[in-house]
Amino acid sequence: MPRDLTRPLVTGGAGFIGSALVRQLLGHPEVERVVVLDKLTYAGSLARLPLDEPRLEFVRGDIADRERVRGLLDLHAVTGVFNLAAESHVDRSIERPDDFIATNITGAFTVLDACRAAGVRLLQCSTDEVYGAIDAPGRFTEDSPLRPSSPYSASKTSADLLCLAAVTTHGQDLVITRGSNTYGPRQHPEKLIPRMVQCALRDQPLPVYGDGLQVRDWMHVDDHARGLIAAFLLGEAGGVYNLGADCERTNLDLVRELLAILGKPESLIRHVTDRPGHDRRYALDAGKARRELHWRPQADFARDFAHTVRQLAAELA
Protein backbone atom coordinates (compact mmCIF):
# COMPACT_ATOMS: atom_id res chain seq x y z
CA MET A 1 0.00 0.00 0.00
CA PRO A 2 1.27 3.52 -0.79
CA ARG A 3 2.27 5.50 2.30
CA ASP A 4 1.08 8.89 3.52
CA LEU A 5 3.09 11.76 2.05
CA THR A 6 0.95 14.61 3.38
CA ARG A 7 3.29 15.87 6.13
CA PRO A 8 6.85 14.56 5.69
CA LEU A 9 9.87 15.48 7.80
CA VAL A 10 13.17 15.77 5.90
CA THR A 11 16.29 15.70 8.03
CA GLY A 12 19.32 17.28 6.37
CA GLY A 13 16.94 19.18 4.13
CA ALA A 14 19.32 22.12 3.70
CA GLY A 15 21.94 19.84 2.17
CA PHE A 16 22.56 19.07 -1.49
CA ILE A 17 20.32 16.02 -1.96
CA GLY A 18 18.00 16.96 0.89
CA SER A 19 17.09 20.32 -0.62
CA ALA A 20 16.41 18.70 -4.00
CA LEU A 21 14.11 16.27 -2.21
CA VAL A 22 12.30 19.15 -0.47
CA ARG A 23 11.65 20.84 -3.80
CA GLN A 24 10.36 17.58 -5.28
CA LEU A 25 8.06 17.00 -2.31
CA LEU A 26 6.61 20.49 -2.59
CA GLY A 27 5.71 19.65 -6.18
CA HIS A 28 3.37 16.88 -5.00
CA PRO A 29 -0.19 18.24 -4.63
CA GLU A 30 -1.02 15.94 -1.70
CA VAL A 31 1.79 17.41 0.42
CA GLU A 32 0.33 19.78 3.00
CA ARG A 33 3.55 20.69 4.78
CA VAL A 34 7.24 19.77 4.58
CA VAL A 35 9.17 20.07 7.83
CA VAL A 36 12.95 20.39 7.47
CA LEU A 37 15.29 19.66 10.37
CA ASP A 38 18.89 20.65 9.71
CA LYS A 39 21.84 21.43 11.98
CA LEU A 40 23.25 23.84 9.37
CA THR A 41 26.80 22.60 9.53
CA TYR A 42 29.28 23.89 6.94
CA ALA A 43 27.56 21.77 4.27
CA GLY A 44 24.02 23.03 4.91
CA SER A 45 22.65 26.25 3.45
CA LEU A 46 19.27 27.95 3.74
CA ALA A 47 19.92 29.43 0.30
CA ARG A 48 19.10 26.03 -1.18
CA LEU A 49 15.54 26.12 0.21
CA PRO A 50 12.46 28.00 -1.01
CA LEU A 51 11.90 29.68 2.34
CA ASP A 52 9.07 31.83 0.97
CA GLU A 53 7.00 28.67 0.36
CA PRO A 54 4.20 28.69 3.00
CA ARG A 55 4.11 24.87 3.15
CA LEU A 56 7.75 24.72 4.24
CA GLU A 57 8.66 24.74 7.93
CA PHE A 58 12.38 24.99 8.75
CA VAL A 59 13.74 23.98 12.15
CA ARG A 60 17.40 24.22 13.09
CA GLY A 61 18.51 21.27 15.19
CA ASP A 62 20.51 18.08 15.55
CA ILE A 63 19.07 14.67 14.68
CA ALA A 64 20.88 13.28 17.72
CA ASP A 65 18.62 15.45 19.94
CA ARG A 66 16.02 12.86 20.93
CA GLU A 67 13.53 15.31 22.43
CA ARG A 68 13.72 17.67 19.46
CA VAL A 69 13.11 14.87 16.95
CA ARG A 70 10.24 13.31 18.88
CA GLY A 71 8.73 16.73 19.55
CA LEU A 72 8.71 17.62 15.85
CA LEU A 73 7.01 14.36 14.90
CA ASP A 74 4.26 15.09 17.42
CA LEU A 75 3.93 18.85 16.89
CA HIS A 76 3.55 18.63 13.12
CA ALA A 77 1.70 15.30 13.00
CA VAL A 78 4.44 14.01 10.70
CA THR A 79 3.34 11.15 8.44
CA GLY A 80 6.79 9.95 7.40
CA VAL A 81 10.48 10.76 7.74
CA PHE A 82 13.23 10.99 5.12
CA ASN A 83 16.58 10.79 6.93
CA LEU A 84 19.18 12.56 4.80
CA ALA A 85 21.10 14.20 7.64
CA ALA A 86 24.66 12.90 7.38
CA GLU A 87 28.32 13.74 7.33
CA SER A 88 29.26 12.61 3.84
CA HIS A 89 32.78 13.59 2.78
CA VAL A 90 35.20 10.65 2.79
CA ASP A 91 38.33 12.78 3.29
CA ARG A 92 36.78 14.44 6.34
CA SER A 93 35.82 11.04 7.74
CA ILE A 94 39.46 9.97 7.63
CA GLU A 95 40.55 13.14 9.42
CA ARG A 96 37.64 13.46 11.91
CA PRO A 97 35.67 10.19 12.21
CA ASP A 98 34.03 11.27 15.48
CA ASP A 99 31.64 13.60 13.66
CA PHE A 100 30.54 10.77 11.39
CA ILE A 101 29.86 8.42 14.28
CA ALA A 102 27.84 11.10 16.09
CA THR A 103 25.59 11.98 13.15
CA ASN A 104 25.56 8.95 10.88
CA ILE A 105 25.21 6.33 13.62
CA THR A 106 23.93 7.92 16.84
CA GLY A 107 21.81 10.47 15.00
CA ALA A 108 20.40 7.89 12.61
CA PHE A 109 19.48 5.66 15.55
CA THR A 110 17.72 8.56 17.26
CA VAL A 111 15.59 9.14 14.15
CA LEU A 112 14.95 5.41 13.78
CA ASP A 113 13.82 5.15 17.40
CA ALA A 114 11.57 8.22 17.14
CA CYS A 115 9.87 6.87 14.02
CA ARG A 116 9.17 3.56 15.74
CA ALA A 117 7.68 5.35 18.76
CA ALA A 118 5.49 7.51 16.51
CA GLY A 119 4.49 4.67 14.21
CA VAL A 120 5.56 6.44 11.01
CA ARG A 121 7.52 5.16 8.03
CA LEU A 122 11.23 5.96 7.78
CA LEU A 123 13.28 6.25 4.62
CA GLN A 124 16.98 5.87 5.43
CA CYS A 125 19.09 7.39 2.66
CA SER A 126 22.30 5.38 2.34
CA THR A 127 25.06 5.06 -0.26
CA ASP A 128 26.60 2.62 -2.72
CA GLU A 129 29.82 2.97 -0.75
CA VAL A 130 28.57 0.48 1.86
CA TYR A 131 29.35 -2.30 -0.64
CA GLY A 132 33.00 -1.38 -1.14
CA ALA A 133 34.56 -1.82 -4.57
CA ILE A 134 33.69 -4.22 -7.40
CA ASP A 135 35.57 -5.18 -10.55
CA ALA A 136 34.05 -4.70 -14.00
CA PRO A 137 31.70 -5.89 -15.31
CA GLY A 138 30.12 -6.80 -11.96
CA ARG A 139 27.38 -4.77 -10.27
CA PHE A 140 26.18 -4.73 -6.71
CA THR A 141 22.69 -5.98 -5.92
CA GLU A 142 20.83 -5.32 -2.70
CA ASP A 143 21.98 -8.75 -1.48
CA SER A 144 25.69 -8.08 -2.00
CA PRO A 145 27.88 -8.22 1.13
CA LEU A 146 28.54 -4.94 2.91
CA ARG A 147 32.28 -4.18 2.88
CA PRO A 148 32.83 -0.50 3.70
CA SER A 149 36.30 0.93 3.09
CA SER A 150 36.25 4.30 4.88
CA PRO A 151 35.00 5.68 8.20
CA TYR A 152 32.23 7.39 6.22
CA SER A 153 30.98 4.23 4.52
CA ALA A 154 31.39 2.25 7.76
CA SER A 155 29.16 4.75 9.56
CA LYS A 156 26.50 4.50 6.86
CA THR A 157 26.73 0.71 6.95
CA SER A 158 26.19 0.82 10.70
CA ALA A 159 23.01 2.85 10.23
CA ASP A 160 21.76 0.41 7.59
CA LEU A 161 22.32 -2.51 9.93
CA LEU A 162 20.52 -0.75 12.79
CA CYS A 163 17.58 -0.20 10.47
CA LEU A 164 17.51 -3.80 9.28
CA ALA A 165 17.75 -5.02 12.88
CA ALA A 166 14.72 -2.86 13.75
CA VAL A 167 12.78 -4.54 10.95
CA THR A 168 13.65 -8.01 12.29
CA THR A 169 13.23 -7.20 15.97
CA HIS A 170 10.29 -4.78 15.93
CA GLY A 171 8.74 -5.20 12.50
CA GLN A 172 9.42 -1.51 11.92
CA ASP A 173 8.13 0.07 8.73
CA LEU A 174 11.15 1.46 6.88
CA VAL A 175 13.00 1.37 3.60
CA ILE A 176 16.66 1.91 2.75
CA THR A 177 17.95 3.43 -0.47
CA ARG A 178 21.56 3.18 -1.63
CA GLY A 179 22.35 5.80 -4.22
CA SER A 180 25.28 6.24 -6.57
CA ASN A 181 27.39 9.39 -6.95
CA THR A 182 25.09 12.37 -7.41
CA TYR A 183 25.66 15.56 -9.37
CA GLY A 184 23.70 18.75 -9.87
CA PRO A 185 23.56 22.44 -8.91
CA ARG A 186 23.98 23.83 -5.38
CA GLN A 187 26.53 21.22 -4.31
CA HIS A 188 29.16 22.10 -1.70
CA PRO A 189 32.58 22.84 -3.26
CA GLU A 190 34.34 20.13 -1.25
CA LYS A 191 32.78 17.56 -3.60
CA LEU A 192 34.54 16.46 -6.78
CA ILE A 193 32.61 18.29 -9.50
CA PRO A 194 32.15 21.71 -7.84
CA ARG A 195 35.70 21.58 -6.52
CA MET A 196 37.06 21.01 -10.01
CA VAL A 197 34.85 23.78 -11.41
CA GLN A 198 36.10 26.17 -8.76
CA CYS A 199 39.75 25.35 -9.47
CA ALA A 200 39.23 25.63 -13.22
CA LEU A 201 37.58 29.04 -12.92
CA ARG A 202 40.62 30.26 -11.00
CA ASP A 203 43.07 28.59 -13.40
CA GLN A 204 44.39 26.60 -10.46
CA PRO A 205 45.59 22.98 -10.65
CA LEU A 206 42.79 20.41 -10.55
CA PRO A 207 43.91 17.70 -8.06
CA VAL A 208 43.04 14.20 -9.28
CA TYR A 209 43.68 11.31 -6.90
CA GLY A 210 46.15 8.70 -8.15
CA ASP A 211 45.81 7.79 -11.82
CA GLY A 212 42.23 9.10 -11.90
CA LEU A 213 40.88 5.82 -13.25
CA GLN A 214 38.48 5.25 -10.34
CA VAL A 215 35.04 4.55 -11.80
CA ARG A 216 31.79 6.05 -10.51
CA ASP A 217 28.17 5.85 -11.65
CA TRP A 218 26.76 9.40 -11.92
CA MET A 219 23.09 10.19 -11.21
CA HIS A 220 21.42 13.61 -11.36
CA VAL A 221 20.21 14.93 -8.00
CA ASP A 222 16.62 15.32 -9.25
CA ASP A 223 16.56 11.67 -10.32
CA HIS A 224 17.93 10.71 -6.90
CA ALA A 225 15.18 12.74 -5.17
CA ARG A 226 12.49 11.12 -7.32
CA GLY A 227 13.88 7.71 -6.37
CA LEU A 228 13.68 8.54 -2.67
CA ILE A 229 10.03 9.51 -2.97
CA ALA A 230 9.21 6.41 -5.02
CA ALA A 231 10.88 4.19 -2.40
CA PHE A 232 8.97 5.89 0.42
CA LEU A 233 5.63 5.52 -1.34
CA LEU A 234 5.97 2.10 -2.92
CA GLY A 235 8.89 0.32 -1.26
CA GLU A 236 8.25 -2.91 0.60
CA ALA A 237 8.60 -2.61 4.38
CA GLY A 238 12.15 -3.61 5.25
CA GLY A 239 13.19 -3.30 1.61
CA VAL A 240 16.53 -2.08 0.29
CA TYR A 241 16.68 -0.35 -3.10
CA ASN A 242 19.72 0.56 -5.18
CA LEU A 243 19.38 3.83 -7.09
CA GLY A 244 21.82 4.14 -9.97
CA ALA A 245 21.91 5.66 -13.44
CA ASP A 246 24.07 3.20 -15.42
CA CYS A 247 26.34 6.12 -16.25
CA GLU A 248 29.91 5.08 -15.46
CA ARG A 249 32.80 7.50 -15.90
CA THR A 250 36.37 7.49 -14.64
CA ASN A 251 37.21 10.48 -12.50
CA LEU A 252 39.82 11.50 -15.07
CA ASP A 253 37.35 11.41 -17.96
CA LEU A 254 34.84 13.38 -15.90
CA VAL A 255 37.40 16.10 -15.19
CA ARG A 256 38.41 16.24 -18.85
CA GLU A 257 34.76 16.68 -19.88
CA LEU A 258 34.38 19.43 -17.29
CA LEU A 259 37.41 21.31 -18.59
CA ALA A 260 36.15 21.06 -22.16
CA ILE A 261 32.78 22.53 -21.14
CA LEU A 262 34.54 25.45 -19.42
CA GLY A 263 37.02 25.94 -22.25
CA LYS A 264 40.01 25.24 -19.99
CA PRO A 265 43.15 23.24 -20.87
CA GLU A 266 43.80 19.70 -19.64
CA SER A 267 47.24 20.91 -18.57
CA LEU A 268 45.52 22.12 -15.38
CA ILE A 269 45.09 18.49 -14.24
CA ARG A 270 47.50 17.48 -11.45
CA HIS A 271 47.72 13.88 -10.26
CA VAL A 272 48.15 13.79 -6.48
CA THR A 273 48.74 11.04 -3.91
CA ASP A 274 45.73 8.76 -3.81
CA ARG A 275 43.31 8.71 -0.88
CA PRO A 276 43.93 5.86 1.62
CA GLY A 277 41.63 2.92 0.94
CA HIS A 278 40.21 4.56 -2.18
CA ASP A 279 37.63 2.24 -3.77
CA ARG A 280 38.41 1.58 -7.43
CA ARG A 281 34.93 1.12 -8.86
CA TYR A 282 31.30 1.40 -7.76
CA ALA A 283 28.49 0.02 -9.90
CA LEU A 284 24.90 -0.69 -8.93
CA ASP A 285 22.24 -2.97 -10.32
CA ALA A 286 19.11 -0.81 -9.94
CA GLY A 287 16.77 -3.32 -11.56
CA LYS A 288 14.79 -3.85 -8.35
CA ALA A 289 13.95 -0.14 -8.12
CA ARG A 290 12.88 -0.12 -11.76
CA ARG A 291 10.63 -3.15 -11.28
CA GLU A 292 9.10 -2.45 -7.88
CA LEU A 293 9.18 1.34 -7.68
CA HIS A 294 8.57 2.06 -11.39
CA TRP A 295 11.49 4.49 -11.15
CA ARG A 296 14.17 5.15 -13.69
CA PRO A 297 16.56 8.07 -14.23
CA GLN A 298 15.28 10.77 -16.58
CA ALA A 299 18.42 12.87 -16.93
CA ASP A 300 20.60 12.74 -20.03
CA PHE A 301 24.19 12.89 -18.81
CA ALA A 302 25.69 14.66 -21.83
CA ARG A 303 23.11 17.43 -21.59
CA ASP A 304 22.62 17.67 -17.81
CA PHE A 305 26.27 17.38 -16.82
CA ALA A 306 27.14 20.32 -19.07
CA HIS A 307 24.19 22.27 -17.65
CA THR A 308 25.35 21.45 -14.11
CA VAL A 309 28.93 22.57 -14.79
CA ARG A 310 27.70 25.89 -16.16
CA GLN A 311 25.32 26.38 -13.23
CA LEU A 312 28.09 25.63 -10.75
CA ALA A 313 30.40 28.02 -12.59
CA ALA A 314 27.80 30.77 -12.18
CA GLU A 315 27.30 29.91 -8.49
CA LEU A 316 31.04 29.83 -7.75
CA ALA A 317 32.14 32.76 -9.87
Is 67 catalytic? The answer is no
Cβ-contact 156, 86 below 8 angstroms:
yes
Is 279 catalytic? The answer is no
DSSP category for residue 15: S
Dihedral sign from CA coordinates of 148, 248, 200, 45: negative
C-alpha dist (Å) from residue 14 to 11, 129, 151, 221, 299: 8, 22, 23, 14, 23
Q: Which of 129, 160, 217, 304 is catalytic?
A: 129
Q: Which of 38, 62, 87, 128 is catalytic?
A: 128
Q: Which of 38, 62, 87, 152 is catalytic?
A: 152
Which residues have CB under 8 Å from 202's CB, separation 6+? none
Is 152 catalytic? The answer is yes
- 100, with CB counted inside 10 A (0-12, 13-18, 19+), is buried
User: Is the bond preceding 207 in cis, omega lying within 30 degrees of 0?
Assistant: no
Catalytic residues: 128-129, 152
